Amino acid sequence: MPIITTIQQDCGNPGIMKQFSEISLIFMETNFTSMHAEFNSDMSALTYPTTFTPISQGTWGNFNWGKIPWGGSSGGQSRIRKIIPQAVQRCNWINIQLSTAEAFTSFGLSGISLQYNVMSSRQK
CATH at 33 = 2.60.60
- Asked whether residue 87 is domain-assigned, the answer is yes
- Asked whether residue 123 is domain-assigned, the answer is no
- Asked whether residue 124 is domain-assigned, the answer is no
Nearest C-alpha neighbor of 100 from the set 23, 30, 48, 6: 30
- Asked whether residue 63 is domain-assigned, the answer is no
pLDDT for 30 = 87
pLDDT for 33 = 87
**CB 97: neighbour CB atoms within 10 A?**
17
- Asked whether residue 74 is domain-assigned, the answer is yes
pLDDT for 102 = 87
The domain tally of the chain equals 1
- Asked whether residue 62 is domain-assigned, the answer is no
* CB of 114 closer than 8 Å to CB of 23: yes
What are the pLDDT tens digits along the chain (124 aa)? 568 999 999 999 999 999 999 999 999 988 888 999 999 999 998 999 999 998 765 455 556 666 655 554 556 678 999 999 999 999 999 999 999 988 888 889 999 999 999 997 666 6
pLDDT for 81 = 94
pLDDT for 116 = 96
Residue-number span of the structural domain to which 41 is assigned:
4-57+68-118
- Asked whether residue 53 is domain-assigned, the answer is yes
pTM: 0.78
pLDDT for 45 = 84
